[in-house]
Amino acid sequence: MKIDLHAHSICSDGTTTPAEVVRAAKDAGLDVVALTDHDTIAGWEEGSAAAQETGVSLVRGIEVSCKHDGISLHLLAYLTNPTGQLFDELEKARVSRESRAQRMVERLAQDVDLTYADVLAHTTPGATIGRPHIADAMVSKKIVADRAEAFDTYLHSGSPYHVGHYALDPITAVQLVREAGGVPVMAHPFAARRGRTVADCVVHDMVDAGMLGIEVYHRDHNDAERERALAIAADRALIVTGSSDFHGAGKPNLLGENTTAPEQLERLLAAATSETKFVDAR
Ligand code: AMP
Ligand code: FE
Ligand code: FE
Ligand code: ZN
């Protein structure tokens, strides 16, 4: 059993459709894949149809944007109900992401040839807009070679062009995911190469609030960071996951490059209390 619990589609900042993510999962030899677009469930329906078609099992998920003391962090939410207060909050985040992208483009346009229309041309209608879409527009305009260069040069959180967006605090996020019957799992908790990360005590507070799992195996974790996550998992009896964080052509991450053990998936499925079913296509 090969299980990858973190992947993105064009419904957020991936570059392939939800159906293509599932088909690519099949090609990568995966038995189970989770679709976890940033702040949206727009890809769930298409993903589950593709799951039935291909025989790959789908875990419906979301990667919820959170912010603690100005530090951005991501909470994976699996198998939540599709309605409720969590979704009002996600809508707020998506709306805020639009004005934030506009403001970032205004700042960038003072120095480079870029318009908001250029950015919109790289998004799918209804998708959660993020800095990767600004990056893609900058690649098209030959301002940078790829997303990585755009982030390193213009879009990183310390850049003068950077603007933040509304995001839930992680404690509320954990509570709302549980209220929606879902399973909250902290994504790449200590990946310092992505930017500032939170202290262990914040992770413990999230566990106290009802968080059930932690993503340990992720390419952005070095050995020490992976061990740190494993230690908290052992201490707090958390579900341990591993995943690729696939973004299509937007990142080098390959489906199945990190995986989750079958018994950990069983724990995750057993912890969900929602009406949202695991699409078990086997
Ligand atoms: P945002 O959601 O707008 O704050 O942008 C963050 C997203 O940008 C993350 O979810 C990553 O997928 C993506 N990202 C961050 N750094 C890079 C990078 N160096 N190359 C490609 N994508 C990146
Ligand atoms: Fe992303
Ligand atoms: Fe993430
Ligand atoms: Zn992700």
Query: Using an 8 Å Cβ cutoff, are 248 and 14 in contact?
Result: yes
Run of H or E residues at 149: helix 147-150
The span from the CA of 212 to the CA of 267, in Å, is: 10
pLDDT in tens, 142-167: 999 999 999 999 999 999 999 999 99
pLDDT at residue 280, rounded to an integer: 77
Q: Which atom of ligand 1 is nearest to the CA of 13?
A: 12
pLDDT at residue 64, rounded to an integer: 98
Residues by chain with Cβ below 5 Å of ion ligand 4 = 63, 245
C-alpha distances (whole Å) from 257 to each of 28, 147, 197, 212, 242 are: 9, 20, 23, 23, 9
Of 175, 180, 183, 173, the C-alpha closest to 272 is 183
Query: Using an 8 Å Cβ cutoff, are 196 and 166 in contact?
Result: no
pLDDT in tens, 25-83: 999 999 999 999 999 999 999 999 999 999 999 999 999 999 999 999 999 999 999 99
DSSP annotation of 28 reads T
Ligand 1 neighbours, Cβ below 6 Å, are 13, 38, 130-132, 147-148, 151, 247, 250-251
How close is the Cα of 4 to the center of ligand 4, in Å? Answer: 12
Q: For residue 1, is pLDDT > 80? A: yes
pLDDT at residue 12, rounded to an integer: 98
Confidence class of residue 106 from pLDDT cuts 50, 70 and 90?
Answer: very high
How close is the Cα of 74 to the center of ligand 3, in Å? Answer: 5
How close is the Cα of 52 to the center of ligand 3, in Å? Answer: 27
Q: Which ligand is nearest to the CA of 187?
A: 3
Confidence class of residue 222 from pLDDT cuts 50, 70 and 90?
Answer: very high
pLDDT at residue 243, rounded to an integer: 98
Percent of the chain surpassing pLDDT 70: 99
How close is the Cα of 251 to the center of ligand 1, in Å? Answer: 9
- Residue from 12, 13, 63 to probe ligand 1 pocket by mutation (most atoms less than 8 Å from CB): 13
**What is the rounded average pLDDT for all residues in the chain?**
97
Confidence class of residue 279 from pLDDT cuts 50, 70 and 90?
Answer: confident
* pTM for the structure as a whole: 0.98
pLDDT in tens, 165-220: 999 999 999 999 999 999 999 999 999 999 999 999 999 999 999 999 999 999 99
Q: For residue 277, is pLDDT > 90? A: no
Query: Using an 8 Å Cβ cutoff, are 25 and 7 in contact?
Result: yes
Q: Which atom of ligand 1 is nearest to the CA of 63?
A: 10
CA-proximal residue: ligand 1, atom 2 (nearest): 130
Q: Which ligand is nearest to the CA of 250?
A: 1
Percent of the chain surpassing pLDDT 90: 98
Q: For residue 281, is pLDDT > 70? A: no
How close is the Cα of 243 to the center of ligand 2, in Å? Answer: 13
Q: Which residue has the tokens 């099949």?
A: 26
Query: Using an 8 Å Cβ cutoff, are 233 and 216 in contact?
Result: yes
pLDDT at residue 3, rounded to an integer: 98
